[in-house]
């Protein structure tokens, strides 16, 4: 009567064991009613006269095992031509008799009109929730985005899976997301169809995972039908002995996943043909490993993974090459100013700060697993050694960014040097991203590799990043090795270490890029010598009122 505590892990097993006793009494062979139970919800289908006998048996035998049916919560759904007969047979039982329909396990059974009414009420409720979240997005867009992608948009997933033909009924919800939530979240201009389609893609493909409720409703319903077909057939056949083939279901899940990913890739390829070239380039950089981790994690401030409203809006604008408001037309260095210029302008030393942030994060991780870790170590001076490449750094005070002993080989010193480049810079714009990574790595190797190998007798690894958070091949190899060592030493799952590491680097690079974008760059100040200044004489001569 009271059921079990919500969330009790043994509840389902308890109901399955107990109700199996009752189901032997009310089996199809004895009642001609096809039945199925889910936890304490018992359902039956058949002729009304058979259902009446079935209901009586449930009431007689259920309480013996502790299963007490509640008539006021029980509903008989009858076809219109049998409605009067149902009312007559169940008169006085307390069972509700209807010919329209009823909510059942989060879905609905009944007429098309009842289905439309039920889904319409749900959609109205969800639209109100989207409106509330939109108000939150004006002050906390990062939190609102995470609340939508991790929580709210899953509210209508079950309805899409279980109720067929509801795609048109979900259109008001999509309109609310598109016309209310997204403008509040992104402070963006009018959202076109192509941009909306881009945002529906998962972050790993350059989107934001803000799905469209109506777009995939019919397909997801069909996938759900296919996945549950073997179980549905057993329920219809009242086969309680056989088991479903879990391997076949697993293969079907993989097929559905592959088809969904293929459809997403096809959608992306179509969008690349209609979106501006700069946006396509931005999408390509956003697809790099690690470039979207700042989007997929929860904005927990204590972990350093949250962005304020200005930074979040700017971060999305940088991700897609959308206009950024509030940037002066002329930089303090005198050059015409735009987003691409801010990423490379050395005035204000923000480029150096960006470089130093990644260096310090890498060094702090190395100190967890290596000895003799130092930042900006000086290389051994050259005493007549000849370097093969003319671009090699031969200065006696040459430095690299980080060194650590025993990283690749026990006892041997490993040297790392970091480079962060903007893929949208003029020198990189016409070259593929993979080629730019390779070129930057080769430049670092030619500058330091031979000298470190033969003079310092250590190993050298170039760590090349894009401003959006992507890594070059050798950087991926380095951080993969670092994750292995950290996971082994800390006795933590390697997957967790890798995800944390990528997220930490992603936020470091993102915040550095935002600093380059919004940091104040001053013109060179006029030096005033105040060491020997006569304040009294200056005030009198200048006529300053005391």
Give me the pLDDT at residue 336, please.
87
Is the pLDDT at 539 greater than 80? The verdict is: no
Q: Is residue 251 scored above 90 in pLDDT?
A: yes
- pLDDT of 186-238, one tens digit each? 987 667 899 999 999 999 999 999 999 998 899 999 999 999 999 999 999 99
Contact 268, 206 (CB under 8 A): yes
Q: Could you read off the pLDDT of 474-515 as tens digits, one per residue?
A: 999 999 999 999 999 989 999 999 989 898 899 999 998 898
Assign 527 a pLDDT band (cuts: 50, 70, 90): low
Instruction: List the single range of 73-82, 136-145, 322-331, 407-416 with lowest mean pLDDT.
Output: 322-331
Strand 41-45 relative to strand 34-38: parallel, antiparallel, unpaired?
antiparallel
d(C-alpha 147, C-alpha 304), whole Å: 18
DSSP bridge pairs for 414: 404, 459
Q: Where are the alpha helices (DSSP H) in 273-292?
A: 277-286
| SS3 (DSSP) at 109 | strand
Q: Tell me the range of 383-392, 405-414, 423-432 where mean pLDDT is highest.
A: 405-414
What percent of the chain is modeled with pLDDT above 70? Answer: 95
pLDDT at 90 over 70: yes
Give residue 2's pLDDT band: very low, low, confident or very high (50, 70, 90): low
pLDDT score of 167: 93
Q: How confident is the model at residue 74 (pLDDT cuts 50, 70, 90)?
A: very high
Q: In what side-by-side order are the strands of the sheet with 402-405?
A: 371-375, 402-405, 413-421, 459-466
Cα–Cα distances in Å, from 9 out to 38, 39, 67? 15, 12, 19
Judge contact between 160 and 217, C-beta under 8 A. yes
Per-residue burial over 125-150, b = 16 or more CB atoms within 10 Å of its CB, e = otherwise? ebbebbeebbebbeebbbbbbbbbbe
Is residue 96 pLDDT above 90, yes or no? yes
Spatial neighbors of 497 by CB under 8 A, at least 6 apart, are 483, 486, 487, 490
CA distances 100 to 77, 80, 104, 160, 526, Å, are 7, 8, 13, 21, 83
Task: List the end-to-end C-alpha distance of the chain, in Å, as a whole number.
Answer: 87
Check residue 191 and give its pLDDT: 78
- Confidence band, pLDDT 50/70/90 cuts, at residue 442: very high
Find the mean pLDDT for residues 393-414.
92
pLDDT of 16 > 90? The answer is no
pTM (2 decimals)?
0.85
Residue-level pLDDT at 531: 64
Range name among 12-21, 124-133, 534-543 with the lowest pLDDT average: 534-543
The CA angle 307-310-311, to the nearest 5 degrees, is 40
Tell me what the pLDDT averaged over the chain comes to.
89
pLDDT at 9: 85
3-state SS assignment for residue 52: helix
Per-residue pLDDT at 192: 86
Residue 139's pLDDT band (cuts 50, 70, 90):
very high
Asked if residue 85 lies in contact with residue 48, where contact means CB atoms within 8 angstroms, the answer is yes
Helix (H) or strand (E) holding 34: strand 34-38
Q: Quick check: 524 pLDDT over 60?
A: no
3-state class of 96 per DSSP? strand
Q: What distance in Å separates the CA atoms of residue 290 and residue 284, rounded to the nearest whole number?
A: 13
CB within 8 Å of 491: residues ≥ 6 apart: none
Residue 190 is predicted with a pLDDT of 67
User: What is the pLDDT, as a whole number, of residue 546?
Assistant: 58
User: Helix 350-366 vs helix 473-490: angle between axes, to the nearest 10 degrees?
Assistant: 40
Res. 112 pLDDT band, cuts 50 70 90? very high
Q: Report how far residue 283's alpha carbon sits from residue 103's, in angstroms, rounded to the nearest whole number.
A: 43
Q: Are strands 34-38 and 371-375 parallel, antiparallel or unpaired?
A: unpaired
């Amino acid at each position: 009567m009271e059921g079990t505590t919500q969330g009790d892990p043994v509840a389902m097993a308890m109901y399955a064991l107990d109700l199996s006793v009752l189901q032997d009494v009310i089996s199809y062979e004895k009642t001609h009613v096809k039945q199925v139970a889910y936890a304490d919800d018992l359902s039956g289908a058949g002729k009304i006269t058979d259902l009446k006998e079935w209901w009586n048996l449930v009431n007689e035998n259920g309480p013996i095992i502790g299963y007490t049916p509640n008539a006021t919560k029980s509903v008989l759904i009858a076809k219109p031509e049998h409605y009067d007969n149902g009312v007559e047979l169940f008169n006085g039982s307390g069972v509700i008799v209807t010919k329209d329909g009823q909510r059942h396990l989060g879905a609905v059974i009944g007429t098309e009109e009842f289905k439309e009414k039920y889904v319409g009420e749900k959609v109205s409720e969800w639209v109100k929730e989207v409106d509330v979240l939109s108000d939150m997005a004006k002050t906390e867009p990062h939190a609102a985005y995470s609340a939508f992608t991790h929580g709210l948009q899953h509210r209508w997933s079950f309805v899409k899976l279980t109720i067929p033909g509801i795609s048109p009924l979900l259109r008001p919800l999509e309109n609310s997301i598109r016309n209310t939530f997204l403008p509040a979240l992104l402070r963006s201009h009018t959202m076109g169809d192509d941009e909306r389609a881009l945002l529906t893609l998962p972050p790993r493909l350059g989107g934001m995972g803000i799905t469209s409720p109506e777009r995939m409703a019919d397909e997801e319903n069909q996938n759900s039908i296919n996945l549950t077909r073997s179980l549905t057939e057993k329920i219809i056949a009242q086969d309680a002995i056989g088991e479903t083939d879990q391997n076949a279901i697993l293969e079907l899940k993989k097929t559905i996943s592959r088809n969904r990913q293929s459809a997403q890739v096809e959608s992306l390829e179509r969008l690349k043909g209609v979106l501006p070239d700069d946006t396509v380039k931005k999408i390509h950089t956003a697809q790099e490993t690690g470039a979207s981790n700042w989007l997929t994690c929860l904005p927990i401030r204590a972990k350093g993974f949250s962005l304020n409203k200005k930074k979040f809006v700017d971060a999305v604008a940088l991700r897609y090459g959308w206009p950024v408001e509030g940037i002066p037309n002329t930089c303090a260095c005198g050059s015409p100013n735009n987003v691409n210029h801010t990423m490379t302008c050395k005035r204000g030393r923000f480029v150096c700060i960006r470089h130093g942030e990644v260096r310090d994060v890498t060094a702090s991780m190395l100190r967890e697993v290596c000895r003799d870790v130092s930042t900006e170590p000086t290389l051994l001076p050259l005493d007549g050694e000849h370097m093969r490449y003319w671009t090699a750094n031969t200065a006696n005070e040459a430095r690299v960014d980080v060194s650590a002993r025993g990283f690749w080989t026990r006892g041997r010193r490993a040297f790392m040097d970091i480079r962060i480049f903007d893929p949208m810079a003029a020198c990189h714009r016409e070259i593929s991203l993979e080629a730019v990574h390779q070129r930057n790595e080769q430049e670092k190797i030619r500058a330091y590799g031979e000298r470190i190998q033969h003079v310092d007798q250590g190993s050298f690894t170039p760590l090349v990043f894009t401003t959006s958070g992507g890594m070059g091949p050798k950087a991926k190899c380095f951080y993969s090795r670092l994750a292995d060592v950290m996971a082994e030493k800390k006795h933590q799952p390697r997957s967790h270490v890798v995800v944390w590491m990528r997220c930490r680097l992603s936020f470091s690079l993102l915040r550095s890029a935002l600093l380059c974008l919004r940091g104040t760059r001053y013109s060179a100040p006029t030096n005033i010598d105040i060491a020997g200044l006569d304040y009294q004489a200056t005030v009198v001569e200048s006529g300053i009122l005391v």
